[in-house]
Amino acid sequence: MIRKATKGDTRILAEMAVQMWISHTVDELEAEFSDGIKNNKSVFFIKYKDNLPVGFAQCGLRTDYVEGTKSSPVGYLEGIFIGADYRKNGYAKELLLACEMWAKDMGCSEFASDCELDNMESFI
């Protein structure tokens, strides 16, 4: 099951996100995500397996220039994470689809993201 996150989910999101964004603390990310959830220009989706949160995706609307796009706003994948024990099951694809659908509902005709060139695991 995938569910749109609410303000009550910020700690769950932060505990997953700190595994990906290791230069931050759980408290920093929780505060950032709380602000993001209040804002209608970003959204978080949580993937559950057997009622346990196993991953999340964060996407937003970008109105600044997004490389390779021709429209505005653009749906933008800010981050996606699946716990190590749950990878290679198509869960990231499910989360990405939820983000794309949200962006389309928000009036976007394009969706984008980026990845560090040395992040080979994300290319797989």
Q: Is the pLDDT of residue 124 over 70?
A: no
* Closest among 28, 80, 39 to 59, alpha carbons compared: 80
SS3 17: helix
Question: For residues 78 and 54, is the Cβ–Cβ distance under 8 A?
Answer: no
Confidence of residue 117 (pLDDT cuts 50, 70, 90): low
Q: What is the pLDDT of residues 95-107, one digit of tens each?
A: 999 999 999 999 9
Q: What is the per-residue pLDDT for 118?
A: 72
Q: What is the per-residue pLDDT for 123?
A: 55
Question: For residues 71 and 108, is the Cβ–Cβ distance under 8 A?
Answer: yes
Q: What is the pLDDT of residues 32-68, one digit of tens each?
A: 999 888 887 789 999 999 999 999 999 999 998 888 8
36 dihedral zone (left: phi>0; alpha: psi -120 to 50; beta)? alpha
d(CA 42, CA 4): 11
